[in-house]
Amino acid sequence: MRKILVANRGEIACRIFRTLHKLGIQSVAVYSDADRDAPHVVMAHEAVHIGRAPSSESYLNQEKIIQAAVRSGAEGIHPGYGFLSENAQFAQAVQDAGLVFIGPSPHSIRVMGSKLEAKAAVKKYSIPMVPGTDEAIGDVGEAISIAREIGFPVLIKASAGGGGKGMRIVQHEREFEESLKRAMSEAESAFGDPSVFIEKYIASPRHIEIQILGDQHGNYVHFFERECSVQRRHQKVIEEAPSAILTPELREKMGADAIKVAKSCAYFSTGTVEFLMDEHMRYYFLEMNTRLQVEHPVTELITGVDLVELQIHVAEGKRLPFGQEDVRMNGHAIELRVYAEDPHENFMPSIGKLVKYERPEGEGIRVDDGFDEGMDIPIYYDPMISKLISYGPDRYAAITKMIEAIRRYHIRGPKTTLPFGKFVMESPAFIQGDFDTHFVEKYWTAFAEEKIPADVLRGAALLSGKLMEAHRSKLKQ
Ligand code: ADP
C-alpha cells in the first residue's frame, strides 16, 4: 500500500503515522471540529475534516471516513483502537469499498466481539475457561442453580460488554434475581444486546494477556505476555512485559493456547488473547481483543518488533516474515497510562487546558502522546493524555526509570495519574510482584484518602528502597 488513512485521533493516530512515515507510505488523517489543530492532523501528509466534535458525528461516522479514504486515494484504513476498530460492519464496508481494512476479517471481529460466541468458538480447543454458563441466561431458576453450583460470589457479565463495563458481582443468592434483571436491562441499553451469562468470580486474579500475530495463510506467532493487573474500574492503568510471575513453561503453554484461540476464528492481524490467573497459577481464557491494544508498546520494547508495521504487512496478504523461534524477549518494559483524571477523587476525569506540558526524554523512555502545551483536552473523547513507557535490562531498572520519567514529566492544568504511577512504582507489593487486580482498592484508596499515618508511609518508602536493593543484588549474583 502506498497511502493509508488512519480512522482515529490522539496518540494512537500519531503512533501509526510514525510507522507509515518510516515505511515511506503516504498518510491521511481525519479530524473533527475539536481536533483542528491536533498533532495527528499536523503529522499526516493530508487531513480530511469529517464532522462535529461528538464521536457519533465524526470518528464513528463510517460513511464519511470511507468517503475520505476513497477521495484521497488511500488504499487502506487503519482503525487504531476504540472507535470503529472492533466494528465488523465497518470492516466489511471498508472491503466493499475496495479498500484494505488493516485488521482482522469481519468474521473474526464478530465472533470475538461477543463473549458468548467466543466461548463457543474456543470450546473445542480445550482451552481452560472460567467456570460458568456458556449460553445466555434464559431461565432464572436454572441460572440460580448453576450459580449455587459454581459458588457465590459470581459475576454476571454482558456478552456484548467491553471497556470494563457490563459486569456485576453477586455476593449472595438472595441478590441474584434482582441483579440479573438489572444486568440484562443495563446490557440492553448500553450495548443493544440483553444477553448475559455467569462466571465464577475469581477472588484474587491477575490479568495476563498474550500478543499474537497471524497472516492470511494460517501462520501464527506470539510475542509473549503482558501483565495488566493494575486496574481501576476493571480498566487497565499500568501494564508490563514480561509478567513478574510467569515461568518459561507457563509462558509457552499460554502462548500456544492463545494461538489456538486465534485459530478458532481463523484470525489474522495483531490480536490479544486475555487470560485471568488465580492464586494457584491456574489460568482461564477471558476474551480476545481483535485490534492493536493500547498497551502494545511494552511488547514492542521487549521484542524489538514494530507491531503496526507487521499489521500492515499481513493486511497486504504477505506471509509472516519470521517464525516463533525467531521471536526473542529482551529486558523489561512498563507502561503507565497518563489519564487526565484525579486519582485522589476516585479517578474522575479532570479535563482542561494543558497549561504546562513537558515530556521526559532519554534512553529507555518512550512517550506516546497526541497533545502539545496549550491544548485543551476535549471532553468528547477518552481522557488519556499519553502513555509513558520505560524500558531497562531488568524489571527493577524499568521501575527505576519509570520513577525518574514521572519526576521529569511536567503537566500543569488537569490532574493526572502520574502521582498514582509513582505510588505504584514505589510500593513494596508492586516491587515484589505480589499484587492482583485489586491493587487500587487494597493499597491506593487508603493512601489517597490519607488514612495511612505518615510514619507508616516513611516505613514503606524505606522498605521499597531496601527491596529494590535486595532484588538488584540478587539479580547480579
Ligand atoms: P471487558 O471486555 O469489559 O474488558 P473483561 O472480561 O476483559 O471485560 O474483564 C475486564 C477485567 O474485569 C479483568 O481484567 C478483571 O480485572 C475483571 N474480571 C473479568 N472477569 C472476571 C472474573 N470472572 N473474576 C474476577 N474478575 C474478573
Q: Which cell numbers in the block locate residue 310? A: 507487521
Determine contact, residues 287/112, Cβ cutoff 8 Å.
Answer: yes
Confidence of residue 473 (pLDDT cuts 50, 70, 90): low
Is there an atom of ligand 1 within 6 Å of 207 CB?
yes
Q: What is the CATH number of the domain that holds 72?
A: 3.40.50.20
Verify that 240 and 322 share a domain, yes or no: yes
Residue from 97, 53, 52 nearest 74 by CA: 97
Residue 467 pLDDT more than 80? no
Is there an atom of ligand 1 within 6 Å of 291 CB?
no
Span from the CA of 254 to the centroid of ligand 1 (angstroms): 18
Segment 13-38 mean pLDDT = 98
122: in domain: no
Atom of ligand 1 nearest to the CA of 228: 14
Verify that 410 and 378 share a domain, yes or no: yes
Residue 93 pLDDT more than 60? yes
Give the three-state DSSP class for 434: coil
Span from the CA of 163 to the centroid of ligand 1 (angstroms): 9
Pick the residue whose CA is nearest to atom 6 on ligand 1: 286
136: in domain: yes
Ligand 1 test: best mutation among 129, 168, 276, most atoms within 8 Å of CB?
A: 276
Cα(315)–Cα(104) distance, integer angstroms = 8
Cα(21)–Cα(42) distance, integer angstroms = 13
Verify that 91 and 148 share a domain, yes or no: no
Q: What pLDDT does residue 122 have?
A: 96
pTM exceeds 0.85, yes or no? yes
119-158 exposure pattern, b = at least 16 Cβ within 10 A, e = fewer: bebbeeeebeebebbeebbeeeeebbebbeebebebbbbb
Verify that 228 and 287 share a domain, yes or no: yes
Verify that 155 and 304 share a domain, yes or no: no
Give the three-state DSSP class for 76: strand
Q: Which residues contact 24 (CB under 8 A, 6 or more apart)?
A: none
Match 464478530 to its residue by C-alpha cell.
110
Verify that 166 and 182 share a domain, yes or no: yes
Verify that 152 and 216 share a domain, yes or no: no
Q: How many CA atoms, within 13 angstroms, populate the side-chain half-sphere of residue 45?
A: 15
Q: Which cell numbers in the block locate residue 137? A: 441466561
Among 184, 200, 216, give the residue marking a domain's end: 200
Cα(7)–Cα(83) distance, integer angstroms = 8
Q: Which cell numbers in the block locate residue 239? A: 501494564
Is there an atom of ligand 1 within 6 Å of 231 CB?
yes
Residue 284: in which H helix or E strand, if any? strand 283-289
Atom of ligand 1 nearest to the CA of 130: 23
112: in domain: no
Give me the active site residues, please: 291
Mean model confidence pLDDT for the chain: 94
Verify that 277 and 348 share a domain, yes or no: yes
Verify that 97 and 135 share a domain, yes or no: no
Residue from 438, 440, 436 nearest 421 by CA: 440
Pick the residue whose CA is nearest to atom 12 on ligand 1: 234
Residue from 139, 194, 135 nearest 161 by CA: 194
387: in domain: yes
Determine contact, residues 93/235, Cβ cutoff 8 Å.
Answer: no
Among 165, 200, 235, give the residue marking a domain's end: 200
434: in domain: yes
Low-confidence winner among 51-65, 123-137, 409-423 (lowest mean pLDDT)? 123-137
Q: Which cell numbers in the block locate residue 192? A: 443493544
Is there an atom of ligand 1 within 6 Å of 164 CB?
yes
What residue numbers bound the domain in which 176 lies? 131-200
125: in domain: no
89: in domain: yes
Q: What is the CATH number of the domain that holds 230?
A: 3.30.470.20
Q: What is the CATH number of the domain that holds 163?
A: 3.30.1490.20
Among 140, 167, 200, give the residue marking a domain's end: 200
Segment 82-99 mean pLDDT = 98
Is there an atom of ligand 1 within 6 Å of 4 CB?
no
110: in domain: no
According to DSSP, the residues that pair with 284 across neighbouring strands are: 276
Q: Which cell numbers in the block locate residue 473? A: 543484588
Verify that 64 and 142 share a domain, yes or no: no
Low-confidence winner among 12-26, 105-119, 127-141, 373-387 (lowest mean pLDDT)? 127-141
Residue from 329, 303, 466, 336 nearest 402 by CA: 336
Match 472460567 to its residue by C-alpha cell.
130
Match 459454581 to its residue by C-alpha cell.
150
Is there an atom of ligand 1 within 6 Å of 437 CB?
yes
Verify that 221 and 154 share a domain, yes or no: no
Segment 209-221 mean pLDDT = 98
Please write the tens of the pLDDT for every residue from 9-25.
Answer: 999 999 999 999 999 99
Give the other-Cβ count within 10 Å of 4's Cβ: 27
Segment 237-263 mean pLDDT = 98
Look at strands 26-32 and 3-6 and give their pairing: parallel
Residue 56 sits at the vertex; the CA angle it makes with 290 and 28, to the nearest 5 degrees, is: 65
Tell me the torsion sign for CA atoms 417, 422, 426, 432: positive
Residue from 263, 225, 258 nearest 127 by CA: 258
Verify that 234 and 352 share a domain, yes or no: yes
Ligand 1 test: best mutation among 114, 234, 285, 440, most atoms within 8 Å of CB?
A: 234
How many domains does the chain divide into? 3
Cα(405)–Cα(364) distance, integer angstroms = 10
Q: Which cell numbers in the block locate residue 368? A: 506516546
Span from the CA of 112 to the centroid of ligand 1 (angstroms): 15
Please write the tens of the pLDDT for every residue from 349-389.
Answer: 998 999 999 999 999 999 999 999 999 999 999 999 999 99
Confidence of residue 134 (pLDDT cuts 50, 70, 90): confident
Is there an atom of ligand 1 within 6 Å of 162 CB?
yes
Confidence of residue 452 (pLDDT cuts 50, 70, 90): low
DSSP class of 361: -
Determine contact, residues 237/417, Cβ cutoff 8 Å.
Answer: yes
